[in-house]
């Protein structure tokens, strides 16, 4: 609904807080946040769903890589929320420009801004709710969030191209020309930008503790605190949710399929050479935490089944259904000495919620691929 506008000359909002300089000053930070969020998001998607030709080339090092990039994804997306609100506030008077459409070109330009705003709001909202594991929509989060990410990137590039003259003037500080940017910043604009900066700082500080454990104490608003959880580690999907019970584990055996298949009991696994690694779980929902794991190297188990150094692995959980029941592991992960079939966590036997009797822990991988309650390993 449009507010009643006085007839006659078009309404203009001359206030400097709604001018091109303010819009650009906020826009460059918003653009930076969106760029970081997009790049790290695409990376996360590729690591989770690699195309066939890439699966064996994905690097398992640095072991903290995914923890860092996905932490940046969630932090930049969170920081973008106050930036987007401020940006929309700075430019909202333009919604009411009169006449609403001046030409075909102008109509297209306005439509592209509508797409940009809708995509940005959609991405930040779905991403934020995903960190709370709350999915109040009928579509699958991952494919839609991924597709709209590309839409947002395209709409943003178009927007930058259309607005290029104003952006250039902003950075060259030209105050003449078509835009007549104000020469100096007044205290009001400085106050606004200070407020926006403070808001970004505040939301970042109070949420980033979900992955930067040193900031755990000020992690007031993140949905997960890495400090809470059995054995010093949060649980994303409990055994109860996966319908894994002690009874279903009564005659558990690990089956290793390959040219020379075999099965092992838990006692036999415990008798094999054990290795200890310190590796993080970096959940796609935003939290991450490092832990001390011990167990058997996956490459040793594969080799014993006749898998050569080029072999990759498929891991199957005894969980009956669930998106993460079957997991494929490219060659560099499968052969990395840090990749374990872990039996112990932080010095104790794995709890049922953390994947007892055996789970995967591998470097530089999304948490969703750290399969719990492993029943079967296949040489591929
Ligand atoms: N079988 C199985 N393994 C799974 C999952 C699952 O749903 N099923 N969830 C994964 C997710 S999303 C994460 S973040 C990690 C979390 O491990 P944790 O609960 O031990 O912290 O386990 C992964 N392993
Ligand atoms: Mo996760």
pLDDT at 178: 44
**Residue spans per domain, the chain:** 20-218, 230-379
Residues 74-85: pLDDT tens digits?
Answer: 999 999 999 999
Residues 304-358: pLDDT tens digits?
Answer: 999 998 899 999 999 988 899 999 999 999 999 999 999 999 999 999 999 999 9
Ligand 1 pocket residue status of 313, Cβ below 6 Å: no
Ligand 1 pocket residue status of 317, Cβ below 6 Å: yes
CA–CA distance, 284 with 207 (Å, rounded to integer) = 15
Reported as a pLDDT band with limits 50, 70 and 90, residue 40 is very high
Reported as a pLDDT band with limits 50, 70 and 90, residue 14 is low
Pocket perturbation via mutation, ligand 1, pick of 288, 351, 354, 372 by most ligand atoms within 8 A of CB? 372
Ligand 1 pocket residue status of 279, Cβ below 6 Å: no
Is the confidence at residue 174, as pLDDT, over 60?
no
Question: Closest ligand to 369 CA?
Answer: 1
- Name the residue with the closest Cα to ligand 1, atom 15: 367
* 338 Cα–ligand 1 center, Å: 18
Q: Is-contact 307 301, C-beta < 8 A? A: no
- Give Cα 92 distance to the centre of its chain: 29
Ligand 1 pocket residue status of 234, Cβ below 6 Å: yes
CA–CA distance, 107 with 105 (Å, rounded to integer) = 5
Full 3-state SS string of the chain? CCCCCCCCCCCCCCCHHHCHHHHHHHHHHHHHHHHHHHHHHHHHHHHHCCCHHHHCCCCCCCCCHHHHHHHHHHHHHHHHHHHHHHHHHHHHHHHHCCCCCCCHHHHHHHHHHHHHHHHHHHHHHHHHHHHCCCCCCCCCHHHHHHHHHHHHHHHHHHHHHHCHHHHHHHHHCCCCCCCCCCCCCCHHHHHHHHHHHHHHHHHHHCCHHHCCHHHHHHCCCCCCCCCCCHHHCCCCCCHHHHCCCCHHHCCCCEEEECCCCEEECHHHHHHCCCEEEEEEEECCCCCEEEEEEEEEEHHHHHHHCCCCCCCCEEEEECCCCCCCCEEEECHHHHCCCCCEEEEEECCEECCHHHCCCCEEECCCCCHHHCCCCEEEEEEC
CA–CA distance, 91 with 74 (Å, rounded to integer) = 26
Ligand 1 pocket residue status of 289, Cβ below 6 Å: no
Average pLDDT over residues 55-61: 97
Reported as a pLDDT band with limits 50, 70 and 90, residue 199 is very high
Is the confidence at residue 181, as pLDDT, over 60?
no
Ligand 1 atom closest to Cα of residue 366: 14
Average pLDDT over residues 170-190: 65
CA–CA distance, 345 with 277 (Å, rounded to integer) = 10
Q: Domain 230-379, what architecture?
A: Alpha-Beta Complex (3.90)
| Mean pLDDT rounded to a whole number for the chain | 92
Ligand 1 pocket residue status of 367, Cβ below 6 Å: yes
* 282 Cα–ligand 2 center, Å: 7
pLDDT at 171: 83
Pocket perturbation via mutation, ligand 1, pick of 133, 280, 367, 373 by most ligand atoms within 8 A of CB? 367
- Give Cα 299 distance to the centre of its chain: 29
Ligand 1 atom closest to Cα of residue 282: 14
pLDDT at 217: 87
Is the confidence at residue 7, as pLDDT, over 60?
no
Residues 278-303: pLDDT tens digits?
Answer: 999 999 999 999 999 999 999 999 99
- Name the residue with the closest Cα to ligand 1, atom 16: 236
């Amino acid at each position: 609904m449009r507010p009643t506008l006085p007839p006659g000359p078009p309404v203009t909002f001359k206030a400097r807080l709604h001018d091109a300089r303010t819009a650009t000053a906020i826009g460059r930070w918003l653009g930076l946040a969106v760029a970081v969020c997009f790049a790290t998001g695409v990376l996360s998607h590729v690591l989770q769903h690699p195309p066939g030709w890439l699966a064996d080339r994905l690097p398992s090092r640095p072991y903290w890589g995914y923890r860092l990039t996905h932490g940046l994804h969630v932090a930049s997306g969170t920081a973008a929320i106050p930036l987007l609100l401020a940006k929309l506030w700075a430019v909202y008077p333009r919604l009411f420009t009169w006449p609403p459409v001046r030409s075909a070109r102008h109509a297209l330009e306005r439509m592209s801004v509508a797409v940009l705003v809708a995509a940005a709001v959609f991405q930040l909202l779905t991403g934020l709710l995903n960190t709370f594991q709350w999915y109040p929509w009928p579509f699958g989060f991952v494919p839609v969030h991924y597709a709209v990410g590309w839409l947002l990137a395209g709409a943003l590039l178009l927007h930058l191209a259309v607005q290029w003259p104003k952006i250039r003037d902003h950075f060259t500080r030209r105050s003449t020309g078509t835009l007549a940017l104000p020469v100096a910043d007044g205290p009001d604009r400085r106050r606004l930008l200070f407020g926006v900066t403070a808001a970004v700082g505040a939301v970042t500080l109070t949420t980033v503790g979900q992955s930067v454990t040193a900031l755990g104490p000020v992690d007031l608003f993140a949905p997960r605190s890495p400090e809470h959880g059995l054995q010093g580690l949060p649980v994303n999907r409990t055994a109860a949710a996966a319908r894994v019970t002690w009874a279903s584990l009564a005659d558990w055996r690990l089956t290793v399929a390959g040219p020379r298949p075999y099965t092992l009991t838990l006692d036999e696994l415990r008798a094999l050479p054990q290795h200890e690694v310190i590796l993080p779980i970096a959940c796609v929902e935003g939290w991450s935490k490092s832990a001390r794991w011990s167990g058997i190297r996956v490459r040793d188990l594969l080799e014993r089944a006749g898998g050569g150094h080029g072999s990759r692995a498929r891991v199957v959980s005894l969980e009956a259904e669930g998106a993460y029941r079957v997991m494929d592991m490219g060659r560099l992960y499968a052969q990395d000495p840090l990749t374990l079939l872990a039996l112990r966590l932080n010095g104790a036997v794995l709890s049922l919620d953390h994947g007892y009797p055996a789970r995967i822990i591998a470097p530089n991988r999304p948490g969703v691929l750290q399969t719990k309650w492993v029943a079967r390993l296949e040489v591929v």
